[in-house]
Amino acid sequence: MSLTARSTRWMQGCCLAVLAAVAASIVVLPAATAADNDPFGMFTPVVVVMDTSDSMNEGVGGLISERYSRIQAARSAVLDLVGSLGADQPFGLLAYPGRGALVVDGCKTGRVEVAPGPLDPAAAAAAVRRLTPDGNTPTGPALRHAASLIRDSYGKEARGVIVLVSDGESNCGEPPVCEVADEIRDSGLDVQINTVGLNLAGAAEAEMRCVADATGGRYVDAGDGSGDELSAAIASSAQATLSLTVDAPDSVRVVNGTTGSSGGDVVVTVRAGGRVAAADVRVSLTVRSTDDTGTSTVLVPRPVRFLGNLDVGVSRSLVFAVRPDDLEWSRDASWTVTATATNAAPAIVDGTFHIDSAVSRTELGGVLAEVDSVVVLGDSYSSGEGASFYSGDTDGGEGDSLCHRSQSTYAHAIWADNTTVIACSGAVTSDFFAPQNSGDQAVRPQLLALRDLMLGDDPPEAVVMSIGGNDAGFGLIGRRCIYGNVLAELRVFSWPAGWRCDQGIEVDWSGARTSTTDALERAMAVQGDIVDVLRSVDAVVNDDEAARNRSRRTVPIVVVPYPRIVPETLPGNASPSGCVLGVGGSELAYLNQFLDALNTSVSLAAYTLRSEGRPVFVVTTVEGAFQPDHTICEGESSATGSPSAPPACRARRWTPGYSCSTRRSCCTRRRRDTQRWRAPLSRGLKRLPPKSSISSARRSGTPRSPGPLPTRSKASRSGSSAMTCHAPRRVDRSTWTLTGSCLPRKW
């Protein structure tokens, strides 16, 4: 006899109902005997109690058909379940009334088709196929038998799950089935009974509901509904469910160095639903960027979070930091958030965002929240040395001018064309006061150029600057470590092979000292000179005349320290560092000590001015911008040098963003590395205090006059190219000209 479409749907719905109800029951409760090794209830004993009474021979929809009977639908569902379980899952199968089963008080108690124990899928499947309808419906005695199987196999205090599948009301055994369920509950055995009714109604349905309610289980009516709808209903009522809400940005930024926290945050909220707690909940985020060259995985520092168990209705919010590398900028990226539990289907949400290297000034806070234009002062690290695209008056070809000013500085990355660069390659603190000798050119003192700008038609609203590195002799110290080893190996000088720059001896008029002591003294000695420069810059940009020219707005001065361009090392590490330039571990430690001391001087100078109520700030996040994988020691080096490079290139060796080769007459820019300045700087600027702190600091102190610029009796330091002044220099405030024996009367 052929089946109608309605009957086929009923069979499918029945099959899915049994399968889903049994599957939903597997991990509801943890097994006591396996508690130590099974904290999330992954191996909770499950006993399926199958009604094999005569009525299970009836066909779906009431049709008499051996091939499409209710027992066949039930067999198919349990076979699917067995196929989906792991081999270690404790599983049992009891059929009732059961051929040859024990009879108690005139009612059979059911036949054990699969004894509780680790599942053997093949043996269990064979047992399921042997199920044959026969006899009455002794549901109560069968439930007692199933409970005793769990108690005898796993102990008196064991937990377990019984899945009862029946198509009719119990007709054999006392007391009533609902009282049997109460008896099992009160015995101390922690068993949950989930019931599945096949085409039940009236008293039969009420009986199945009562059994489930008495033991904290769930009744599901298979009916003849659609399989998909029924499966979803069972999943939501008989097992845990997870839902996700994801708040992801439209774009994230490239993150550089170890000091940056995140290029963007993805906020994920996971909620446990359903009827039981979600066990062993885990949430993960994966991000992949794609362009014409292929697909790569974007760094998420903590991509997987372990939440443990979540009770029904409980939500947890998580923040995932996304840190795209500079190789991934200007790409589109796809992200996927996945939440899993051992007793719930995975929840998955995905989306896309764009990876951008640009830093918008609208995102800045603090004193720079409303700054639309800036002027850049100082040395190579601010002038854009190594970033190429030099302005025509400073390019100078191959070796003529050592002062380079670029339109690709970190400031340009934020303020674009609203950036004016006065900074000059190789500048020292004295070059703020006196002309800088740059190759065959003389560069105007930076303070005078700044003054003209502040009194012009469109004065900048903030100053950003770096200074002090050349005064401390950073270039000389670095060259000794890198080129000293190379030249020693080549026997260019008499230094022995294996010579280390950190073990040298320095001798001058003050006596002899080690290279390390000399370097640290140089680095700390620049603090006073930097204080003089910062105080003078504040006088130039914030005196009464300059203030009137910009409607009395205070100009903040933001000091940028020097990034570590060599790898970080552990104290006492004397092993080879792996640096391609042959620099040893102890030499890297020596260079880092020097940079730390130099940045300490820079920061202390800024704090000194800040303590005076002056609008001077320092952005310390820049120091780690090139860590850990964009130092001069990387295989794909961001800044390498050649002893034979022409003079105009030598400054570039110590400026991140350039690669030099003996095959080239000069150096070529590695454009992506210049991006590494942007994010650390912008994050640091965001943390600067608000503008109100400037005015309040000034109000809290005694009104001050900018005073005269500091007099200087010397202008040269190690690495300085400025002329030497033997007489004090002073500033005529009426004309803003410098006087002194080393300068012309007016510059």
- Express each pLDDT in 372-414 by its tens digit: 899 999 998 888 887 666 776 665 444 556 788 888 788 887 8
Domains identified in the chain and CATH numbers: 5-238 (3.40.50.410), 241-356 (2.60.40.10), 361-739 (3.40.50.1110)
The residue ranking higher by pLDDT, 734 or 31, is 734
Q: Does position 365 have pLDDT exceeding 80, yes or no? A: no
Residue located via tokens 């929809």 = 61
Q: What's the confidence (pLDDT) of residue 388? A: 65
AA letter at 162: I
Q: What's the confidence (pLDDT) of residue 258? A: 56
Q: What would the mean pLDDT of 175-187 be, rounded to a whole number?
A: 91
Q: What would the mean pLDDT of 263-275 be, rounded to a whole number?
A: 87
Q: Does position 698 have pLDDT exceeding 50, yes or no? A: no
The residue ranking higher by pLDDT, 467 or 361, is 467
Q: Are 420 and 465 in contact (CB under 8 A)?
A: no
Q: Are 74 and 17 in contact (CB under 8 A)?
A: no
Residue located via tokens 């003054």 = 451
Whole-angstrom distance between the N-terminal and C-terminal Cα of the chain?
Answer: 111
Instruction: Count Cβ atoms below 10 Å from residue 210 Cβ, excluding itself.
Output: 18
pLDDT band at 606 (very low <50, low <70, confident <90, very high): very high
Query: For residue range 201-220, what is the model confidence (pLDDT) as tens digits?
Result: 889 899 999 998 998 887 87
Q: What's the confidence (pLDDT) of residue 61? A: 56
Query: For residue range 664-694, what is the model confidence (pLDDT) as tens digits?
Result: 333 333 333 444 444 455 555 544 555 444 4
Instruction: Count Cβ atoms below 10 Å from residue 548 Cβ, excluding itself.
Output: 10
For helices 121-129 and 70-84, give the axis angle rounded to 10 degrees. Answer: 180
The residue ranking higher by pLDDT, 289 or 650, is 289
Between CA 555 and CA 540 the distance in angstroms is: 10
Q: What's the confidence (pLDDT) of residue 619? A: 87
pLDDT band at 32 (very low <50, low <70, confident <90, very high): very low
How far is Cα of residue 189 from the mean position of the Cα atoms in its chain?
A: 47
**Out of 251-265, 569-583, 617-631, 659-673, which region has the weakest mean confidence (pLDDT)?**
659-673
Between CA 79 and CA 199 the distance in angstroms is: 21
Between CA 348 and CA 337 the distance in angstroms is: 6
The residue ranking higher by pLDDT, 238 or 592, is 592
Using CA atoms, how far residue 303 sits from 61, 142, 636, in Å, is 51, 49, 27
Instruction: Count Cβ atoms below 10 Å from residue 597 Cβ, excluding itself.
Output: 20
Q: What would the mean pLDDT of 442-466 be, rounded to a whole number?
A: 92
Q: What would the mean pLDDT of 717-732 be, rounded to a whole number?
A: 37
Q: What's the confidence (pLDDT) of residue 607? A: 94
Q: Does position 371 have pLDDT exceeding 60, yes or no? A: yes
Q: What would the mean pLDDT of 456-469 be, rounded to a whole number?
A: 93
Residue located via tokens 């029904």 = 312
Q: Does position 506 have pLDDT exceeding 70, yes or no? A: no
Mean of per-residue pLDDT scores for the chain: 72
Q: Does position 30 have pLDDT exceeding 70, yes or no? A: no
Q: Residue ranges of the alpha helices (H) in 106-201?
A: 121-129, 139-154, 177-186
Between CA 503 and CA 598 the distance in angstroms is: 20
The fraction of the chain above a pLDDT of 90, given in percent, is: 27
Which of 601, 595, 382, 376 minimizes the C-alpha distance to 475?
595
The residue ranking higher by pLDDT, 251 or 674, is 251
The residue ranking higher by pLDDT, 715 or 598, is 598
Query: For residue range 123-159, what is the model confidence (pLDDT) as tens digits?
Result: 999 999 999 998 999 999 999 999 999 999 988 877 7
Give the side-chain half-sphere CA count within 13 A for 138.
27
Q: What's the confidence (pLDDT) of residue 510? A: 64
Q: What's the confidence (pLDDT) of residue 536? A: 94
The residue ranking higher by pLDDT, 55 or 320, is 320
The residue ranking higher by pLDDT, 733 or 280, is 280
Query: For residue range 633-644, what is the model confidence (pLDDT) as tens digits?
Result: 764 445 544 333
Which of 471, 595, 610, 476 minimizes the C-alpha distance to 528?
471
Between CA 243 and CA 360 the distance in angstroms is: 35
Peptide bond into 175 cis (omega under 30): yes
Using CA atoms, how far residue 89 sits from 42, 84, 119, 277, in Å, is 8, 10, 6, 20
For the full predicted model, state whether its pTM sits above 0.75.
Answer: no
Give CA angle at 329 (328, 331), nearest 5°: 80
User: H helices then E strands: how many in the chain?
Assistant: 20, 31
Query: For residue range 316-330, what is the model confidence (pLDDT) as tens digits?
Result: 999 999 888 766 667
